Structure 1
């Protein structure tokens, strides 16, 4: 009898730890200062436990979905005109993600040869070029593999 009770307690402990560790996650492309493509329904995707409710608040509306059997979720927000800044709040069972300074604009994926990795800080006239850069609405996202996505409002 004691062995059965021990096993039941251990099972309950493991299940409760699993629930406590479950967190909603989004890919690295989502974050503060991101740009979302204007004039199209904005896709948002990520990972959540199977059946877990995921709620996204954005631009005065609340969108709800659930993690599928594979632990993934995806939904489309509204279509928006260029502008910002905005805030997005994603809530799961045990965590909340908040992204600030989001802008709506044009997103470009760029690729090319190795010369595209040359940053302005590596050029001959770097200090003057950086000081003269006045367009704060151009944002860059650098992927782990070194490729770049650029966006502007």
Structure 2
């Protein structure tokens, strides 16, 4: 699934070990194993029904594996899903952007979910826009962004 030339000198960022998911007696995911080092990126490719969404759900704690485990750094994802999700960036097929808000307003709105308000929310939103290289689009409508730019904005949201 992942081919890497990285020499394992750092502690793994993400480990999936022997992940299985059965719905009833029907196996959806069988024996998925991989290790990601810091800075590596994972892409899951496969036909519809191959279990990609189920694997991603197991990686961030939304789906409990039938067998196996996932570790994000030293955090066991199955027992600490909320902590793992705060530390992980996930971009799904659908976005939750509000087309009535500007790019900056969307991030400020997201900040409120984390109880970051006022000047602190604007500051954090500015930092995140810079991190995903969208600072020049802060006042633009979400509808003016390309699909890739929207994905980056969604990733910046948490």
**Fold shared, TM-score > 0.5 on shorter chain:** no
TM bin (shorter chain): under 0.3
Structure (1/2) with the larger strand percentage: 1
Structure (1/2) with the larger helix percentage: 2
TM-score (norm 2): 0.26
Higher relative contact order (CA 8 A, sep 6+): 1
